[in-house]
């Protein structure tokens, strides 16, 4: 019956979803792009003081925004070089038959369930310079010289923020990698072992390539999450001290809702959107499409 009706039926079913998508996704994007071309404080209806691309020129010359890009790059490098490898190593470890592995899995995944605000409040106390757990542990083991004002020192605050983010999210990536590892047929591992491959060669030539699509998805999520980072950093440091932990999202918030420079704030939001969109399109074009073609090829081969 539906085939006979053709396009009218498709339009009827898709129209509500398309309308909702336009209202909550496309509409705000268009409005933000429009607002970014004006000097506007956010009051008095739609903006009227048109300044063209001046907000974008200001943004590209703004040391704070350029610093946001640099700090975001540092967090991305740390996430890809530290957070994801730790999550992968734990996933491979907890895939082994060890005692209480179910307890370990729950324990490592539990921080991800907490909200970013709760996590930030918790670590505000842990990293407190006077009575914080981190400094107390260092003093207890005779390493007083390593105790620091983690969240108020410009030299350490960004790395302290990274530790908090890692504690919060590495459990999610661990579960992601663990699920992918359990999807690898045991016969492949056994065949490689029978052929004389040691554990490292099995990991290098069998496990790691088969985990490739999941690793690439984790990289994508990690980078996009870093670009949008706000809640935890805002509660921990508010972007301070002296902008040392500020992100693009915090800069946007500061200008848009604290200084009432909504036009400039929306220009920063458009920059975040464009960076995320370009990265997502590149990922879809060069990574996701290849992974999907590989999955389809494997499925056809099995059938």
Terminal-residue alpha carbon distance, the chain: 31
For residue range 95-114, list pLDDT tens digits in order: 988 888 899 999 999 999 99
pLDDT of residue 145: 82
pLDDT of residue 134: 87
Say if residue 254's pLDDT is above 80. Answer: yes
| Residue 275: alpha-carbon gap to chain centroid | 13
Question: Which is more confidently placed, 70 or 293?
Answer: 70
Q: How far apart are CA 258 and CA 251, in angstroms?
A: 10
pLDDT of residue 300: 52
User: Strand, coil or helix: what is 11?
Assistant: helix
- Contact status, residue 227 vs residue 72, Cβ threshold 8 Å: yes
**Residue 186 has what DSSP assignment?**
H
- The pTM of the full predicted model, rounded to 2 decimals, is 0.88
Say if residue 173's pLDDT is above 80. Answer: yes
Domains of the chain and CATH, by start? 67-110+150-302 (1.10.3720.10)
pLDDT of residue 2: 47
Say if residue 68's pLDDT is above 60. Answer: yes
Give the DSSP H or E segment for 184: none
pLDDT of residue 232: 92
């Amino acid at each position: 019956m539906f085939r006979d009706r053709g396009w009218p039926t498709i339009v009827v079913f898709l129209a509500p979803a398309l309308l909702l998508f336009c209202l909550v996704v496309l509409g705000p994007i268009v409005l933000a792009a429009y607002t970014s071309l004006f000097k506007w404080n956010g009051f008095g209806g739609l903006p009227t003081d048109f300044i063209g691309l001046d907000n974008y020129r200001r943004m590209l010359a703004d040391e704070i925004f350029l610093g946001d890009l640099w700090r975001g790059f540092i967090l991305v490098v740390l996430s890809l070089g530290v957070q994801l490898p730790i999550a992968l190593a734990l996933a491979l470890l907890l895939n082994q038959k060890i005692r209480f592995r179910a307890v370990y899995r729950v324990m490592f995944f539990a921080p991800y369930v907490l909200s970013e605000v709760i996590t930030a409040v918790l670590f505000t106390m842990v990293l407190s310079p006077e009575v914080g757990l981190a400094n107390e542990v260092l003093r207890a083991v005779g390493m007083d010289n390593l105790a620091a004002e983690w969240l108020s020192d410009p030299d350490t605050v960004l790395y302290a923020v990274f530790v908090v983010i890692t504690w919060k999210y590495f459990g999610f990536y661990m579960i992601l990698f663990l699920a992918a590892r359990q999807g690898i047929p045991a016969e492949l591992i056994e065949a490689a072992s029978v052929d004389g491959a040691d554990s490292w060669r099995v990991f290098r030539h069998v496990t790691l390539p088969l985990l490739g699509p999941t690793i690439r998805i984790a990289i994508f999520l990690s980078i996009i999450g870093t670009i949008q980072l706000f809640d935890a950093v805002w509660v921990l440091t508010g972007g301070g001290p002296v902008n040392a932990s500020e992100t693009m999202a915090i800069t946007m918030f500061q200008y848009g809702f604290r200084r009432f420079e909504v036009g400039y704030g929306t220009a920063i939001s458009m920059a975040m959107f464009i960076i995320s969109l370009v990265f997502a399109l590149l990922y879809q074009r060069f990574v996701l499409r290849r992974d999907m073609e590989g999955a389809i090829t494997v499925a056809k081969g099995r059938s």
